[in-house]
Amino acid sequence: MKLIKLTAISAAVLASTAALAAEPVVVVDDNTAVAYEAEPVAVAYEAEPAYAYNADAGVVRNTTGAVAGGTKTFFQTAINPAAVSAEVGTLGYGANIAWGLNENTELQAGWAGGDVADLFGGDIDIDDVNYDVDSDFSNPYLGVQLRPTGNWFTMGAGIIVPDNDIDVTANPQNGGIYKIDGVEYDANDVGSLQGTIEHRNKLAPYATIGFRPNITENFGLFGELGAAYLGKTDATVRTNGTSNNVGVKGSNIGSGKTSAEVAAEAQRELKSDNYLEWLPIVKVGATYRF
């Protein structure tokens, strides 16, 4: 009987002292003291994850995991564009790649260039002098294309990095004259007038509006209208003439100017015109969407 009572009391005491499991428990029965060593109590803990992101606070615990995950996402986005396009227009012939930022916004990177002088008529009139134009355009650009109403209507804006070579050659008028600043100079005395035009802006902002209807699930067409600000121009005009007294129509004594001085007057006119300071953007193309 004593053994049964002793066992029951011991069990009750052990159960009530689980928090003190490391401490020995002493039970007294009929003046007899018996010490029992308490068994340790197993406590289960939920393991913390290796890394965690707190989206609300914008905090990342475990920088290595976050950077690796972010790099992977960026890399996957970069190598998986939303669309590729081919285009032709006043910027030149080229193509662009687009990445979708959301369902209505795309980031575009592209290039357009080549000899597009014929798209502007192939010649220009600067005051009373007509020039043939040869061009070699190079226009890499980066921009954003928006669909503000969620349909085919688009708006675009961005930056062009222009590197456009524009060469000009003056054409004598009927009768073999160059009319510069109101004076009709003998073209034979002046010589051949050739020059270059360079825009000052190294970065040219642009804006466009357009349409991008889808023909099939993957293919579509587009057209855009807009302008880019290339800035004011610097111009040079040179001549192969060597006359020290360029003849003037209707005068027997000549102008008293050298061929180089007449070329300098033509250069001032060409520079002050600021040819294509605002470059019109007109382009059409086709798009393939992934």
Q: Is 259 helix (H, G, I), strand (E, B) or coil?
A: helix
Torsion angle, alpha carbons of 57, 63, 66, 68, to 10: 170
**Cα of 59 vs its chain's centroid, Å:** 30
Least confident of 7-16, 92-101, 214-223: 7-16
Q: Which amino acid is at 98?
A: A
Q: How many helices (H) and strands (E) are present in the chain, helices listed first?
A: 4, 18
Q: Average of pLDDT values for 149-160? A: 94
Query: What confidence tens digit (pLDDT) does each residue in 49-89 have?
Result: 433 333 333 333 333 333 334 444 555 656 677 899 999 99
Cβ neighbours for 128, distance < 8 A, ≥ 6 positions apart: 173, 179, 180, 182
How far apart are the C-alpha atoms of 283 and 95, rounded to whole Å? 11
* Residue 44: pLDDT over 80: no
The predicted structure's pLDDT at residue 76:
61
CA distances from 170 to 167, 183, 244 (A): 10, 15, 20
CA distances from 223 to 108, 202, 210 (A): 15, 26, 5
Q: Which amino acid is at 252?
A: N
Cβ neighbours for 72, distance < 8 A, ≥ 6 positions apart: none
Rounded to 5 degrees, φ, ψ at 131 are -120, 135
Q: Which residue has the tokens 């060593």?
A: 37
Query: What confidence tens digit (pLDDT) does each residue in 78-121 have?
Result: 667 789 999 999 999 999 999 999 889 999 999 999 998 888 77
Q: Which percentage of the chain shows pLDDT scores above 70?
A: 73
- In the structure encoding, which two tokens stand for residue 214, read together? 């889808």
- What does the DSSP 8-state code read for residue 162? -
